[in-house]
Amino acid sequence: MSQAFFADVDVSGFPDDALTDHQKYEHPLVSRYATKEMSAIFSPAMKFTTWRKLWLALASAEKDLGLEINDEQLQQMKDNIYNIDFAKADEFESKFRHDVMGHVHAFGEVAEKAMPIIHLGATSCYVGDNTDIIQLKEALKLIQSKLVQTLGILKVFAEKYKDVPTLGFTHYQPAQLTTVGKRCTLWMQDLLMDYERVTYELENLPMRGVKGTTGTQATFLELFNGDHDKVKELNKKVCNLMGFDKWVSVSGQTYTRKIDYYVLSILSGIAQSAYKMCGDIRLLANLKEVEEPFAKNQIGSSAMAYKRNPMRSERVCSLARYVMSLPPSAANTQANQWFERTLDDSAIRRIILPESFLAVDVILNLLVNIADGMVVWPNVVSKHVMEELPFMATEVILMECVKAGGDRQELHEAIRVHSMAAGAVVKGEGKPNDLMQRIAKDPLFAAVHNKLDQLVDPKLFIGRSKEQVEEFLAEDIDPVLTKECKHLEKEVVDGVNV
């Protein structure tokens, strides 16, 4: 056929009831992956109710500082924070070609007495930027809690397998032994560093505050008749009312976009940690040593019915790769903010800020699921250890024979010859490693013939792996878990919805 089978994109053949549900693009992060909690943080409802809370906070602070705003106006605003007619707001936005003014008028329709003082002295970035910061804060708190949950589950795994010897790998070639639990602590250490970065950001995240059109607070200075102290107090009051004790000292029209870059860098770090962990699990699944959970009726392949593909880990790596690609966009946005503000930051931030959090939210949910059901096959792990351990044990055997009076150079040469021969058997014939059998038959090694089994006990070759796991969990992980549990208990006691 000279033309494509369906040359034109034609949707007229779909039934009418399918137009809404199936003919519009749906973002997979929302429709397929992300949780309701994270989606809600970046939802229109969250965004525009926060705008109204900011307008209420501004009006309340302005009244406290002497502007003519009455309690009835504030009460009407408070009573209608969640009473948003989104269709009406869209109508106003279409009319004014301005989203903030659209919502100012929609708010004013249900809080009529307050209409004259809504958004008094403010610029669009007062609600826009401050809401962005609030959303970042709430999203970081959710990410922080999921990091803690992940660490808690991985702790159980690390403790359980802290002294189970396994092959270490460097360059993906067999190296000295470690333990299954010790390897898990490598994943945990990365996630712990991510938790610490998130915690730091939450403790230091500043609000934009009340800064005015170009950041000079000129309008507010005019409102308060040149009283600088009242303008400063207005900024502090509003920030405190919105739950912030820090704010940017100076700004242009917007808060510095470096904050976005810092936040996306943290999320990229989490994605890196998750990719590393799940990349290891994918490799271990190939070795049949460790597998992620596999549901009873799960199908690994539509063609190869026997397959147990590490699909969750692959999904983590796929999403992580996307998150890791986002910080450069934030960096370029910050670098290209001319003078006090330019609007080329708007569209890109609408995409990368929510999507980075939505993706990391999914990633951490998957890590929890994987860690909670991860399966270790000890016999396979042991088999692989014993295939390589004879080579590693040769130095111990050499030293024992020298201590019994043997000639070090002669013994070394004999071990070299036996090792090469055993390696040829393994690689050339595909047979098990027979190095120990060769040494057991060689009179040069008679001094260790009666204790060869003891000399190749895998636990003699794991160093301080077990102790390192115990120390790491006790000194680094437990304090975090204890701290966060107490924090959650306090929030429950205080009536905060966690």
Residues classed as catalytic: 171, 301
The CA distance from 194 to 71, in Å, is 45
Scan for tokens 């596999």, then name that residue: 294
The candidate with the shortest Cα–Cα distance to 71, out of 112, 113, 103, is 113
Cα 321 to Cα 21: distance, rounded to the nearest angstrom: 29
Enter the tokens of residue 183. Answer: 């390897």
Tell me how far apart the alpha carbons of residues 253 and 219 are, in angstroms, rounded to a whole number. 13
Are 438 and 422 in contact by the 8 Å Cβ rule? The answer is yes
Give yes or no for a contact between 405 and 464, defined as CB atoms under 8 angstroms apart.
no
Structure tokens that stand for 127 in this block: 């609600």
Amino acid at 337: Q
Q: Which residue has the tokens 């549901």?
A: 295
CA 301, distance to chain mean position in Å, is 29
CA distances from 199 to 66, 140, 273, 275, 320 (A): 38, 8, 16, 21, 21
Rounded (10°) angle between helices 44-64 and 71-79:
170
AA letter at 406? G
Amino acid at 45: A
Q: Is residue 375 classed as helix, strand or coil in its secondary structure?
A: strand
Residue 166 parent element (H or E): strand 165-170
